[in-house]
Structure formats: C-alpha cells, structure tokens
Chains A and B, each alone.
Chain A
Amino acid sequence: EPEVTQTPSHQVTQMGQEVILRCVPISNHLYFYWYRQILGQKVEFLVSFYNNEISEKSEIFDDQFSVERPDGSNFTLKIRSTKLEDSAMYFCASSLPTGSEAFFGQGTRLTVV
C-alpha cells in the first residue's frame, strides 16, 4: 500500500540552527501538507501546498518556515533558525484532491536544545 515517508525519524539540533525535514508524498497525490504536534497537545496545521504554491498557511508558519518541492517526489519543510519552542513532532501529509482523505507520514520528532 502506498505511504508517505518522512526522514529523519528523529532530529536533534541546537537552537539557532537550520533544519530541513523531508517527506516523500504518495506519488499521484496533488496536495501536500505539514502539521506539527507538540508533546501532549493537539495536531496543528502549518501549511498546505499545491501546484508549487502555498495554498494556505497558519500563524505558526512565519518567516522562519519555508516549504519546497525541489523535484517530482520530495516535499521539504525548512526551519531557518530553530527555537526551543519548535520542538515537536512534525507530520507530512498528502491527498489526491484537496479535502479528501489525507495520508500522514510517521513523523519527524524534532528536538531543539
């Protein structure tokens, strides 16, 4: 069964460093998303992406965040200068049309120290 894959599964970084979280969405999906979940809290929307453009972004997704689809398969989330409060589980998701069932990856646990 096709699945969304995320790498790495766990990343530890120093405060102020840049991190890139990688995702390979399901190959025929058109819409891509990043969500995050701070430990013990709800899943929060960060950004949705379609046709090489951001469709929607949340207040969390400020200038420190960016997304890119550098080739036909990868979808990346970059955090330019990490803060302690960026520590969370980051989930990538994809869907065929928007609003349909979203398939989530297993997440990248980001720890900022």
Chain B
Amino acid sequence: SQQGEEDPQALSIQEGENATMNCSYKTSINNLQWYRQNSGRGLVHLILIRSNEREKHSGRLRVTLDTSKKSSSLLITASRAADTASYFCASYNDYKLSFGAGTTVTVRA
C-alpha cells in the first residue's frame, strides 16, 4: 500500500480550539490531498499541496508537507461544531489517490 498511517485516529476538541492531524505515506508522490467525509457520505476535497510545496493555506485550513519525512499535517483553526467529520489524507501518484485510515474529529459545542 502506498499509504501509511494517520494520527490520531480520533480527536475530540472544544469549539474554538485548533485541531491538528498528521499523516504519513510510503512512496514518492505527485501531490497530497486532504478530504473530509461526513457520516459515510461522499468525500469532499479540502486542499491539495504539490510535492514541491511545503505549506499551503485555505481559509481556516493549513497544510504542511515534508517530503523528506513523507509526512503531512492538517491544521483546522478556530474549530466549529460543523467541522465534526472524518478527515482523510490521500497521496496522489500513478493515476490514483491512496487514502489513509482517517482521523475522526468531534468538535464539542
């Protein structure tokens, strides 16, 4: 499998706090993407970071990529109850996305 691990598996935070999750991958990648999934429904694309980029921002999201360590992190700042979902990283290479196991984030009001 191209994809490694994500941690933590689950995260529970208070509204307004930041949520940070990490993922690792095993092989070289073209880019790395983060997706969100609500209760087994479809995956929604959040952000894409290319292999030659180190950091990217989109609204309350901040993604980092360290290709030397084959790892990425997703930070959600000022979390809201509506951010409650599962978050997946997916490494892209060879015409396919390889997904991690995901982090389940629960934001308490």
Contacts and interface: CB of A to CB of B under 8 A. Distances in A.
Interface of A: 4, 31, 33, 35, 37, 39, 41-45, 48, 50, 55-56, 58, 89, 91, 93, 98-107
Given A43-B43, A45-B98, 7 more contacts: A41-B101, A42-B88, A43-B90, A56-B95, A102-B33, A104-B43, A107-B42
Q: Is the contact region of chain A dominated by helix, strand, or loop, or is it mixed?
A: strand
Nearest to A4: B42
Contacts of B88: 42-43
Nearest to B40: A89
B28 interface: no
Interface residues of B, number: 24
A77 B3 CA distance: 24
Contacts of A98: 95
B83 to A, nearest CB: 19
Contacts, number: 60
B31 interface: yes
Given A42-B100, A42-B101, A48-B96, A101 B33 contact: yes
A48 B95 contact: yes
A45 B97 contact: yes
A42 B42 contact: no
Contacts of B94: 56
A70 B101 CA distance: 33
B102 A42 contact: yes
B88 to A, nearest CB: 7
Contacts of A104: 35, 42-45
Given A43-B88, A48-B95, A56-B95, A102 B45 contact: yes
Interface centre among A37, A58, A105 (most CB of B within 10 A): A37
